[in-house]
């Protein structure tokens, strides 16, 4: 089975919160619980110039998920396509996974008193749809697909910047 990846292109993220709210709606999350969170970094001053980034921080669906190892009741599993799933029926709400996640992506949902994390909208994915956040992102900053698709896309983008450097009049990459 092809592995899926959930990645992002921070050059394109404009910090508009569409992904956060789409996720809230799709999974009916209460205030405070964020499976998707775009962190604003900066502005900071570097050599007299301001820079600022928006970094989508979501579950990376790790190959060897630390949360899964930390769960004492095996509530966390990994599908063949790579999607990491938290099972609310098994979860005891101990928060070990929250402690273990290096990205802060595992979340506590006070409404159901269970740990949760991005499930990559697997129900949508199984129907051939994009995850809600990816669907509603206005700039295609969120990328869902096979890891090899992503690397191909990234290579083409970087190659285009080389072209731009040599020929500033050349069109950008769409």
Partner 1 sequence: MTMSTVTAGYDRVVRTLCQGCHCDCGVLAYVKNEKVVKIEGDPNHPMNEGSLCPKGLSATQFLYHPDRILHPLKRAGERGEGKWQRVSWDEALDYTAGRFNEIREKYGPQAISWSWGDAAHQSCLWSKQAWLLGMGSPTHWHSDAHYCYHPLLIANRTTFGNYSTSEEGLDYRNSKSIFLWGGNPVMSHPTRARDVMTGLKRGAKLIVIDPRFTELAAKAHLYLPIRPGTDDALAMGMINIIICEGIYDRDFVENWCIGFEPLRERAREYPVDRVADITGLAAQDIVKAARISATVTPCVHHGRMGVQQNRNCVQTNRAISILLAICGSLDVPGGHVSKSNKPRGFKGVFHVVDSRDELRLPAEIEDTRIGAQEYPLFSGAESLAVSCAHPPSVVHTILTGDPYPVKANWFLNDMAVCLEGQRETYESLLALEFTVGSDFFMTPTMEICDIILPPTMWLEKDGISEVFYNIGEKDLIAARQKVVEPLGETMDDAMMDLEIIRRMGMEVPHGWQTPQDFFDYQLAGMKITFEEFKQIGYIEGEVIYKRYETEGFDTPSGKVELWASTLEKHGYDPLPYYVENAVTPVATPELTGDYPLNLISGSRHIAYFHSNNRQIPWLRELEPMPYLDIHPETAEALGLEEGDWAWIETPVTDDRVKMPVRLTRMVGRDVVHAPSHWWFPETEGPEHGCFQSSINLVLTNDGPYGPISGASTLRGVLCRVYKVEEG
Contacts with partner 1 by CB under 8 A lie at: 11-12, 14-18, 20-22, 24-26, 30-32, 42-45, 50-54, 127, 129, 132, 135-139, 164, 170-174
Minimum Å distance from CB 158 to partner 1? 14
Nearer to partner 1, 16 or 94 (CB): 16
Minimum Å distance from CB 150 to partner 1? 17
Nearer to partner 1, 64 or 127 (CB): 127
Nearer to partner 1, 110 or 138 (CB): 138
For 139-142, the CB contacts below 8 A with 24+ separation are 139/12, 139/13, 139/14, 140/9, 140/12, 141/8, 141/9, 141/10, 141/11, 141/12, 141/13, 141/14, 141/56, 142/6, 142/7, 142/8, 142/19, 142/56
């Amino acid at each position: 089975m092809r592995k899926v990846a959930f990645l992002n292109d921070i050059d394109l993220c404009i910090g508009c919160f569409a992904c956060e709210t789409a996720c809230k709606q799709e999974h009916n999350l209460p205030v405070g619980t964020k499976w998707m969170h775009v962190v604003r970094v900066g502005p900071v001053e570097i050599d007299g110039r301001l820079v600022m980034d928006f970094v989508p921080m979501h579950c990376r669906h790790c190959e060897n998920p630390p949360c899964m190892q930390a769960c004492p009741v095996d509530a966390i599993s990994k599908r063949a396509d790579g999607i990491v799933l938290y099972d609310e029926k098994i979860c005891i709400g101990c928060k070990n996974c929250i402690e273990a996640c290096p990205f802060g992506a595992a979340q506590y949902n006070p409404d159901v008193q269970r740990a949760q994390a991005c499930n990559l909208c697997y129900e949508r994915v199984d129907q051939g749809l994009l995850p809600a956040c990816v669907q509603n992102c206005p700039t295609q900053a969120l990328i869902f697909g096979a890891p090899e698709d992503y690397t191909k896309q990234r290579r083409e983008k970087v190659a285009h910047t080389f072209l731009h450097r040599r020929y500033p009049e050349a069109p950008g990459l769409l």
